[in-house]
Structure 1
Amino acid sequence: MPQQRLGRVQWGPLQFGPGSQYSVTGVSGLDDLPDIRSDDMARPGQHGEYTGPDYTGARTVQMKLGLRGQSPDDLRALSLTLRNATQPQDEPAALQLLDQDILVWGKVRKRSIPYDAEYLWSIGDAAIEWYCADPYLYGLTERSASTAAYSPSSGRTYPLTHPRTYGSAGTTGRITAVNAGAAAAYPVLRIDGPVATPAIENVTAGGVLTLDATLQPGEYVLIDTRNRGVQFMGSSPRRSWVRAGSVWPQLQPGANEIAYRGSALAGAPGQSSLLTVTWRDTSL
């Protein structure tokens, strides 16, 4: 359960906080709202402004650390380990607050490990700043749910026999995805064939995403709704498959009902297409 006490923090191979030689003495920017990027404009000839939707900018997280060595050489080793773990990065990495159930994706932009002769024996201080171009706060647990494409029941077999036989009950093609955060989550969708013209609908929020594509058995496509990327077999871009007018699904806070439909392929009896939805609880 999330707690007010910060607890353990994981950055790459390093862990800060209880049980480590790096104590966390202060954090800022984590629960703060990032700067707002607004579309406000003045009302000509009137008091006030017209206001549009508000979007946030990047998030900056600053953390102060206390280094607690056993000797001057041990303190120096702690400083070098911290320095090596906070090098400039090409891509964001996960900063995990393990006891608060929070994950942010950041890049180290500033680092301070001052030398203080008065405390040279075993105690030192440091400060790290992470730039988070993605300002969202994510839950540590990656959630997932799957469903086969909708198919009707086969019904009764004619002519009637004794005992009477019925076809399969069919599948609903629906799942419920719960976003326990306070902001909309951007799920990753995986569609496994065989299927033609797969369609994913957020029944709760409205909107359908349809692909004008055919997937054979063993083929799949990954859809990243945040980046609006579509990759066949996880690597080949297929953005052109998205039908005009499609709505990229988001998971609003709370329960979201997702429906999956598609057309069966000839020659693939008994093989059902599968939709897998993956997401994290999301807040700002």
Structure 2
Amino acid sequence: MAQQRIGRIQWGDLEFGPGSRYHVTAIEGLDDLPDIRSEDMERPGQHGDYTGPDYTGPRVIQIGLGLRADSPDELRDLTLALRAATQPQRQPDALRLLDQDTLVYGKIRRRSIPYDAEHLWRTGTAALELYCADPYLYGLEERSEATAAYSPAAGRTYPSVRPRTYGAAGQSGRIAAVNRGDAAAYPVLRIDGPVANPSVEQVSNGAGLTVDATLADGEFLVIDTRTRAVLYMGTSPRRNWLRSGGTWPTLAPGYNEIAYRGSALPGSPGQQSLLTVTWRDTSL
């Protein structure tokens, strides 16, 4: 059930909010719309503009904390732990709002832990600023659906690079993917062989990709539609395998149908290729 209170927040190994020594006193930028980056152009010799699509800039989240300790030494320990957890970062990390089913990826860009001698015995305050180059708000649960390109064969075990939560089984060659957010989600597509020239189509809008390559049994290809990375065995770039003219599929809010097709390989009877689509509910 949705709730207005922020509740628990997790950053790395630290947890803020109810049940912790770090009380959340304020949060800004979470439900705000990030600044708009418009593509408007002036109408020469006329009033007004030609308006183009609007895109958002990065999201900036500010968090106020109250530190509550039982002694000055414990307060110092809380300060040092917070300082250690908010160092400059190479890559964004996940900030999880555990009771709001929300996840954002960001970097700590500002940290303030003022020294207040009047309340130094056991209380303190802190302020954090999180820069989210990716402005989207994601659901905590990673959703996955999988299908074979043909009628499933019993007894086949498919490899997995990480644990996944699978929804209800779809029809062979079709996946029903539901994005419960209010913005388009960018799925990760994993294709397991054996298969030749596999294709993935977003039936709802006709977007799709075709791979001009062959994957043997035990080989797989990972396609990240957000970063547009195409990785053979999850590590080796193979962007050149994509047939030109394709459109990167996304999952619109609500129901989406994904179709998976491919050609069987000679000498692999009863072994079928598998498409796994993984995404998170996405909002702005």
TM class, shorter-length: over 0.9
Residue 172 of structure 1, CA deviation: 3.4
Residues of 2 paired with 1:150 and 1:43: CA distance?
54
2:183 corresponds to which residue? 183
Residue in structure 2 matched with residue 275 of structure 1 by the alignment = 275
1:150 and 1:174 in contact (8 A); partners too: no
After TM superposition, list the pairs within 5 Å mapping 1:38-187 onto structure 2: 38-150=38-150, 172-187=172-187
1:208 partner amino acid: G
SS of structure 1 residue aligned to 2:128:
strand
Alignment coverage as a number of residue pairs: 266
Provide, for residues 171-209 of structure 1, a one-character-per-residue CA deviation record: whole Å limited to 9, x for no partner: 630010000000000000000000000000000122221
Q: 1:202-241 to 2 correspondence within 5 Å?
A: 202-241=202-241
Distance 1:102 1:123 in 2: 29
Segments ≥4 residues shifted beyond 6 Å: none
Equivalent AA in structure 1 for residue 212 of structure 2: D
Letter in 1 for 2:6: L
Distance 2:74 2:223 in 1: 48
TM-score by length of 1: 0.92
Query: Contact (CA 8 Å) 1:9, 1:95: kept in 2 or not?
Result: yes
Q: Is the 8 A contact 1:67 1:123 kept in 2?
A: yes
* Alignment match, 1:167: none
> Is the CA contact 1:205–1:252 (under 8 Å) kept in the aligned structure 2?
no
Whichever residue aligns with residue 193 of structure 2, its letter is G
Report the Cα offset of residue 55 of structure 1.
Answer: 0.6
Offset, 1:102: 0.5
User: Is 1:245–2:255 an aligned residue pair?
Assistant: no
> Could you give the per-residue CA deviations for residues 115-150 of structure 1, whole angstroms, max 9, x where no partner exists?
000101101000000100000000000000000014
Structure 2 unaligned runs (5+)? 153-170
2:161 corresponds to:
none
Q: How far apart are 1:2 and its partner, in Å?
A: 2.6
Offset at 1:41?
A: 0.5
What SS is found at the alignment partner of 2:80? Answer: helix
> In the alignment, which residue of structure 1 is the partner of 2:15?
15
Give the letter for the 1:197 counterpart: N
Give the whole-Å Cα distance in 2 for the aligned partners of 1:249 and 1:151. Answer: 24
Residues 44-67 of structure 1 show CA distances to partners (whole Å, capped at 9, x for unaligned) of 111110011111111100000000
Is this contact kept in 1: 2:150–2:272, CA < 8 A?
A: no
Counterpart secondary structure, 1:251 = coil
2:88 alignment partner, SS class: coil
SS, match of residue 34 in structure 2 = coil
d(CA) in 1 for partners of 2:131 and 2:196?
Answer: 42
**Cα drift, residue 151 of structure 1:** 5.5
> 1:249 and 1:40 mapped to 2: Cα distance?
26
Aligned to 2:156: none
Distance, in Å, in 2 between the alignment partners of 1:198 and 1:233 is 15
Q: Identify the range of structure 1 (203-212 vs 131-140) with the bigger mean alpha-carbon deviation.
A: 203-212
Partner Cα separation in structure 2 for residue 237 and residue 226 of structure 1: 15
| Residues 1:257 and 2:257 aligned together | yes
